[in-house]
Chains A and B, each alone.
Chain A
Amino acid sequence: MVTLSINGQQVQGVDGSSILEVAREHGIEIPTLCYHEALEPYGGCRLCVVELKAPRGPRLVASCVYPAEEGAVVETDSEIVHRSRRMTAELLLGAAPNAKVIQALAARMGVEKPRVSLSDNNCILCGLCVRACREIVGANAISLVNRGFTKEVSPPFEIGSNACVGCTTCVFLCPTGAIKLEEVLANRSVHHWDSDFEAVACKICGDHYLAPELAVDVEKVLSEENA
């Protein structure tokens, strides 16, 4: 166990946990966007920055990836933290002006109108979809491609990826709704990835919901369980 101070409160955390994890365990709120409990921390959105005053610092660190150390002194609500988050929120609003999550976040941080306009889609490059596809689904159908202003989430060669199993985890996880799911009758397709296939009907309810590859996997697991 490590003991550290967050906002003047002495708190304990398990060895190897991040500042964010310890803070949340003790009910101390830190905003996040690219963080998800089920995924490896990424440190991409920079909303979770906190001020580290000791043993190093003072400096801003991303609490989702910064380990909780013995004797650390952390502030999550100081002026420098708020200034940093406000700037991050403004940039995010510039990147995804129509996303409700971002609008709410910006309003909470006191940002009304972003001074910059960064893109016309709602993707904020948080990488949740890419990481879920890799870490949870294991399909590796999409990745972050290009660099700088042209960076985007895409399947290889920007054409439909046959690695996509149509599980729609990416659609579900996307915080800004940048990935669209359109259901047209029996044809379930994740349009953002240009992946288009006939969904397989459930044998019990008759509803069309599964990608063919996924249906084979499910049947395999079920037959193994029944064996």
Chain B
Amino acid sequence: MSFQPTFDASEIEDLLNGKRGGEHPSLMSVLEEVQARYRYLPQDALILISESMGVPLSQTYGVATFYNAFSLKPKGRHVINVCTGTACMVRGAKKVLERISDRLGIQPGETTEDGQFTLETVNCLGACALGPVVVADGAYSGEVTGAKANALLSKVMAEAKTV
């Protein structure tokens, strides 16, 4: 199984052509689709998109580095987000983060070598009453303890094996 889908210029071109059929193509929506497809924004894709859409590369790069939703480094198949906002922190987010970090063997912001898991922190999810909050593949879990984090991680890891 290959770790990353390989970058294919024709795919990006198809995507851009599809967009052009509709209304005014938006840089953000194109970048979102490329991010979803490759789990990051390959350098060649950014260059191709800029040239094709007539947007200066400097501007495309500025947008790509501004938003948290975009990554210039490949992200794992499964993304685990630990909220480290003030409320989650005082409710024990640090322990939860350490537990997950130890078990995956990576630091926040890193991706496991097999390309399966990315661990990230987020500053606030606006669900402070539920803290500490962990988001695994888009699913929210509240009042997470070390043990609960372990169980959550086991579930995600089991899913990773079946795919």
Interface residues of chain A, those whose CB is within 8 Å of chain B, are: 133-134, 140-147, 155-157, 161, 163
Contact = CB atoms under 8 A, between A and B. Distances in A.
Interface string B46-65: 10000000001111111001
A156 B61 contact: yes
Given A156-B57, A163-B57, A143 B43 contact: no
Interface in B73-101: none
B45 to A, nearest CB: 12
Interface of B: 43, 46, 56-62, 65-66
A145 B56 contact: no
A161 B61 CA distance: 12
| Secondary structure call for the B interface | helix
A163 B58 CA distance: 9
Contact of B61 (A134, A147, A157): A157
Nearest to B68: A147
B70 to A, nearest CB: 11
A157 B62 CA distance: 10
A155 B56 CA distance: 11
Interface centre among A143, A146, A161, A163 (most CB of B within 10 A): A143
A140 B58 CA distance: 6
Given A140-B57, A142-B58, 14 more contacts: A140-B56, A143-B58, A143-B59, A143-B62, A144-B62, A145-B61, A145-B62, A145-B66, A156-B60, A156-B61, A157-B61, A161-B58, A163-B57, A163-B58
Contacts of B59: 140, 143
A147 B60 CA distance: 14
22 contacts: A133-B58, A134-B56, A140-B57, A140-B59, A141-B58, A142-B58, A143-B56, A143-B59, A143-B62, A144-B62, A145-B61, A145-B65, A146-B65, A146-B66, A147-B65, A147-B66, A156-B57, A156-B58, A157-B43, A161-B57, A161-B58, A163-B56
A16 to B, nearest CB: 27
Contacts of B62: 143-145
Contacts of A161: 57-58
Contacts of A140: 56-59
The 8 closest A-B pairs by CB, nearest first: A140-B56, A143-B58, A143-B62, A156-B61, A145-B65, A156-B57, A146-B65, A140-B58
